[in-house]
Structure 1
């Protein structure tokens, strides 16, 4: 189950997934995306899953908003957050 980091209703949702955790129920990501009024493609979820399985990281961080579905390592997320 994803751990929700941040929800801004109608704008963005950010959550993390433990390293190498398989997203068995991809519909949870669809439901989270629908909560903010957007959709997510299964191909995007599969790419994030492959990235999580291949990279050395603690958590996979996924950012969903109306214009992007972004996934990155926890370290990249922390670096980007500290730059803002």
Structure 2
């Protein structure tokens, strides 16, 4: 996969994959690329959750939370789930 192809996917990961697990089981990407894709998906979901808290989106919070769990499970399966200490909003 070229860096241009990866860049296109990173622009909106969720529109290219139905489920985070689809990234994990794909043989088209390296482990590092899979982690990068999932981390971008996670970041997008964090932004949606913050927007939802501020009543700035029509997204259903439960669906976003379920997607976040699926992304975190996928990252964990790849050994790419690292959490900073302490909570915080995306910024």
TM-score normalised by length of structure 2: 0.30
Greater share of helix = 2
Greater share of strand = 1
> Larger C-alpha radius of gyration, 1 or 2?
2
TM-score normalised by length of structure 1: 0.32
